[in-house]
Chains A and B, each alone.
Chain A
């Protein structure tokens, strides 16, 4: 299944303000959102950066806003979303975006 990830990006060295970047990826219903982000980073765009570590919902590093709701990217699977194959990924509110 093709999924689209629309990800909020901001690099203080080159950007004056944040913008959304779109990526397309083949996904399975059981893929974690973190798996998808990792594959985008490894296969398409190594400049993508986000926090992650344990990958099973214990450490709490990969908290982010997924389709408007806060969650851990490693705890949310593609099948958990009714938006089918569109995902908007944004940073947590109330934190500085570096």
Chain B
């Protein structure tokens, strides 16, 4: 089935919805999503959205910029970080005007709370900068923006899995998607395509991410010639519920929660004397694992305690009620009386599709682009998060750069007509891919390959890495990719064929896993979330550069680099 729109947005999370709103009512816009729009994983964001409103204490966007640069371990592009932090207060007021129900101070201003790595006066003390709606900030923003999209008549194609971009003569002019309900292939012919497909946490065994977070957009853009950037920087959030990986928001520590080892010691005091439990996520994740390695895990096991019993029931039930529910449901813990068992969980991809600050997708280090192809949100790498993202900067990122992508697409589509689709059926490639999977007679099952990949990545490419293991992981991933060619689909039907979807997803994830591992192997230094035990120091002389990856098909990706944009803050040692 063929459709024509001005713009097609893939992904109905906050970046996609914000871009759609920016395109305006005179733009014919379709949003394709693999889940029903409000099921998007932006809705799982808990703690807050950062902006230097200064409602609780004095604050300046430059302090926020400095924190973000330092948090990124100086790998973030400072021109982009300036845009992000300067635009933050306007973004909050815009959400407020759209109807997002933020928590309030007693005076009626938007309330703010502390978050990891956010400080006053260039690192002097922790600061309250995160605006929040209890611990369901993402949920309320997602629902608000979704309603705005419905009001504007934006059309949603829910439960459509994208398969291929249509790129003709260096110009993107559409996307092919598979309708899960009945197996129909749809081609969306458009002047521009925005990828807003989110993260890929499902590459790792323990993750806070949704089942849908399989990096489809990143992998499809990669295969179509887009460059991926900084893929080795994968954030492990320090506080996932033991064994399950379900996120316990940093807001818990922002409100005063404390991490303890088996001796009851507040161990973060030793590692980050100034801001303690509010150190950035990469550092706390490493500290937790170091405690565990030193035999200081609780009961000799691989977790520590997150204690919020001293906060009192009233604060917990008003500001952290979701967390209270998670702990009760999944860990059987009453957080007003007992600590929560936590361990690091894969949470966020700092890397992604290389884009400029207007969402245009780059194919190389010379700022060459694919016309008509854009990306925003977690699937993109602008890069504002560099080697480590600060908490409450991702909701900000998706809204600021979702809007900017929408704005630049709006300008672009007025300069061109609908590109012609000469000759061949644009869905042919996707149809052939599906046929190959459906008719496959191999012995392999996608679930077995996925489980192996998740185990390998978790064991050797998560918080601590070393060269020897990474070399072996590259070989193992190569073998898994070969096995992918022999997957056969057991479900031969066309109605909600999850089996087929699983097979597609594992292929996407393996491509990304390979880029992550190659980046981790090549970057022989430690920076932000990337920590190499065999080279534990940061090496600005060689590695103050972004990693870039070009798709290699059956061969590993091609690796190259580009310089980091430094405007304001020269790299310093990163201590908290």
Contacts and interface: CB of A to CB of B under 8 A. Distances in A.
B211 A52 contact: yes
Given A53-B211, A56-B246, A56-B326, A46 B35 contact: no
Contact of B44 (A32, A56, A75, A98): A56
B41 A53 contact: yes
Contact of A57 (B35, B329, B493): B329
Nearest to B41: A54
B293 interface: no
B44 A58 contact: yes
A59 B490 contact: no
B362 to A, nearest CB: 30
B496 interface: yes
B444 to A, nearest CB: 12
A23 interface: no
Contact of A98 (B39, B490, B495): B495
6 contacts: A11-B495, A30-B332, A46-B499, A55-B211, A56-B246, A75-B329
B44 A46 contact: no
A20 B343 CA distance: 40
A43 interface: yes
Contacts of A75: 329
Given A53-B41, A56-B244, 14 more contacts: A11-B493, A12-B495, A41-B498, A41-B499, A43-B447, A46-B489, A47-B490, A48-B498, A53-B212, A55-B210, A56-B44, A58-B322, A59-B40, A60-B39
A60 B44 CA distance: 11
A84 interface: no
Nearest to B40: A59
A85 to B, nearest CB: 19
Interface in B209-237: 210-212
A49 interface: yes
Interface string A23-56: 0000000101000000001110111110111111
B118 interface: no
A54 B44 contact: yes
Interface of B: 35-36, 38-41, 43-44, 136, 139, 181, 210-212, 244, 246-247, 322, 325-326, 329-330, 332, 445, 447, 489-491, 493-499, 502
A65 interface: no
A77 B241 CA distance: 15
A58 B498 CA distance: 21
Contact of B325 (A57, A61, A98): A57
Contact of A61 (B39, B326, B499): B39
Interface of A: 11-14, 30, 32, 41-43, 45-49, 51-61, 75, 77, 98
Contacts of B43: 54, 58-59
B478 to A, nearest CB: 24
A57 B493 CA distance: 29
Output the residue of A13, A30, A42 with the most chain B CB within 10 A: A42
A77 B329 contact: yes
B430 to A, nearest CB: 20
Nearest to B491: A47
A98 B38 CA distance: 21
A49 B322 CA distance: 28
A78 B455 CA distance: 25
A63 to B, nearest CB: 11
Contacts of A54: 39, 41, 43-44, 210-211
A18 to B, nearest CB: 13
A47 B500 CA distance: 10
B35 A58 contact: no
A46 B498 contact: yes
A55 B496 CA distance: 19
Given A54-B39, A56-B44, A59-B210, A49 B498 contact: yes
A34 B494 CA distance: 23
Contacts of A41: 498-499
Nearest to B499: A46
Contacts of B496: 49, 98
Contacts of A46: 445, 447, 489-491, 498-499, 502
A14 B276 CA distance: 61
B184 to A, nearest CB: 13
Nearest to A29: B332
Contacts of B136: 58
Given A46-B489, A61-B36, A53 B495 contact: no
B39 A56 contact: no
B144 to A, nearest CB: 16
A61 B44 CA distance: 13
A57 B325 CA distance: 10
A35 to B, nearest CB: 10
A43 B447 CA distance: 8
A98 B499 contact: no
A42 B451 CA distance: 10
